[in-house]
Each structure stands twice: as structure tokens, then as C-alpha cells.
Amino acid sequence: MKKFMNGAGTLAQDCLDGLVAAHGDIVVFGADRKHVRRRTLRAGKVAIISGGGAGHEPMHTGFVGLGMLDAACTGYVFTSPTPDQIVSAIHETDTGSGTLLIVKNYDGDVMNFEMAAEMAMADGARRIETVIVSDDIAVERSTRGTGRRGVAGTLVVEKIVGAAAEAGISLAELKTLGDTVVGTTRTMGVALRGTTVPQTTRETFVLGPDEMEIGVGIHGEPGRARAQLGEASSIVTLICDQILNDFGGLSGQSILLFVNGLGGTPLSELYLVFGLARTFLEAHGVTISRSLVGTYVTSLDMAGVSITVTVLDDRLMELWDAPVQTASLRW
């Protein structure tokens, strides 16, 4: 598999150089280039910080800006950012009201963000709270192990919490809001081709010509089952049925329906999936009040799609609709 890169070891930093060069009106590098932050910080606003390994672009750096993140920290491909990167972002963006960390539920991310919070507090940082995103229903709920992964629903949490922070909501209220959005968000993904990792240029898993992987994550890992490839309608029915079952039904509820490409799926196919998902959910009594379709939370070049459902009340809908201006999401 051929890729545009100077070298696997510099790929993440080379991509960040291009991002900052292209969107310098919105973002800048932080101290020592350890993170990307908003060009203009607002005094007295709670800082919202997220991050993770490279390979999920445009998440997270593409969501730094008005109405979303104040900073994002990027590690090597599929590797968590280091604690010192996160500490640097905390100190540089905290303008007086504390910091909220939005962290995907992966061992490395959780450990490094937790360590960074402790280091920053010891070094004089103000209050720090953390929201752990765990929207991936492909991982069974369990009291043992890490539990459900944070995947495309992370975007929804960052958008809604970011809008609330922009409105001047306190750190404690933002923490509660973030946990609420996580609790009302479910995601499941399916892949038709594995991820090609830059270091090896080999696929992380190989499927036969008539196979699909059900329940994939965003680090190139296989899903929970391999099945015969079916028509798009049957695939969408499978995902949406799993999501509805996990909620225990959503009849009469208003939702955000978010169809996300995992990196190698054409937009035409994403819209096809959205149309099928909308038809299925409406037939089950669900109202699609808001929608988002596009490639936002990726696993490098994985050919796949995820479907995310977030239940919306009036307040969450208002926060979703609030203005946002980032490199990759704006209205």
C-alpha cells in the first residue's frame, strides 16, 4: 500500500505542520510544539482539552477552535500523547476557570491523561476534571477491564461540551454535562478492509472478498465478529438494531444521527448509509432531529462506517446548534 509521507516516524508531526499552516487563523502550536491550541484564548472560560494518537484525523486537532476544543495533544500513530504534552496544554490554556479533559476510554489515553492531571495539579494548575467517553457498544459492558471504547461519539461530546464552555458554564457543570452526553450516546462500526499502518504498510486484519468485520474500533483492531458481506440495508439494520437494543428502545425520542466514515469510505456510501439508518430508526418511532454525515473520526484508511446515536433534549439540541468554527467542523 503506497502512502504520501516522508517517513513513518515523522508522519504525525508533518501532518500537524500542514494543519497549522492551513488554518493559522484558528490554531497555533503550543509551547515547544507539544500541542495545538486555539489562536485566541478567552479569559475566564473553562479550557476543554482532548487528544489521542495520530491516525484519527480530523479528530482531535481538527476540532480545536471556537465552540469546541481549546487544545488537542497528538501522539504517534495510534499511540497516546505523553503526559508532558498534556501538562503543557493544561498550563497554556487555563485562563482562570480550570480545565476539562475529554478522554477516549483506551488504557493508554486514560493512564496518560490521569497522570498529566496529577502532574499539572502538583505544578500549580487550577481545578481539573475528566470525562471518559465510552460509546462503542461493540464492547460488552463489564465490571472488569477497560470497558467500552471511546470512538465517534467523542466528537459529539466535544461539540456539546465545547459549546457549553463557550457560554460560560462552570467546570463542575461541564463535567456533569459531559458525563450525561456520554451516557446518552451509542456507536457501532463495521469495516470492509483493515487499516494500513504506516510503519509496515500492511493491513491490521485481512478480510476475504465476501467478508466484513463487525464491531471494529478506531485503532485498526478487529471487531467482535466476522460475517458474510451483505447488502447495505442489512448491514445498517444490524447496526441500528444493536444500538436500539442497547438503549432499550427509543420510540418517541429525538436524536442526533451521526454517520461517520472510518477513512476509506466514499461520501456517496456514507449518505446511502444515513438514508437507510434514518428510514430504519423512523420506522421504530425515533425522530431524527439533527444529523451529521462525513469522515470525522477515522482509523487511517480503513474502509468502514460507524453509526452514532445521541438522544437529544432541548438543551442538548441548543448546544449542538451553537456556532462552531474549527478546521473540520463549522457552522
Kindly state the DSSP code that residue 141 receives in the 8-state scheme.
P
Burial of 31: CB neighbours in 10 Å, binned 0-12, 13-18, 19+: exposed
Q: What are the distances in angstroms from CA 24 to CA 28, 36, 258, 317?
A: 6, 11, 28, 30
Collect contacts of 162-166 with beta carbons under 8 A, ≥24 apart.
Answer: 162/48, 162/63, 162/67, 162/68, 162/69, 162/324, 163/67, 163/68, 163/319, 163/320, 163/322, 163/324, 164/319, 165/45, 165/46, 165/47, 165/48, 165/100, 166/45, 166/66, 166/67, 166/322
The secondary element (H helix, E strand) that includes residue 77 is strand 71-77
Backbone angles phi, psi at 287, to 5 degrees: -100, 120
Do residues 74 and 312 lie in contact, with contact meaning Cβ atoms separated by under 8 Å? no
Please identify which of the residues 23, 35, 60, 219 carries the catalytic annotation: 219
Active site residue 56: yes
Tell me the DSSP string of 100-114: EEEEES-HHHHHHHH
15: cell is 501532518
**In which region does residue 51 sit, left (phi positive, over 0), alpha (psi from -120 to 50) or beta (all else)?**
left
If we measure between CA atoms, which residue out of 264, 106, 242 comes closest to residue 187? Answer: 242
CA angle 190, 113, 177 (to 5 degrees): 70
Active site residue 91: no
Do residues 163 and 133 lie in contact, with contact meaning Cβ atoms separated by under 8 Å? no
Please identify which of the residues 23, 56, 60, 284 carries the catalytic annotation: 56
Do residues 307 and 188 lie in contact, with contact meaning Cβ atoms separated by under 8 Å? yes
Residues belonging to the active site: 56, 219
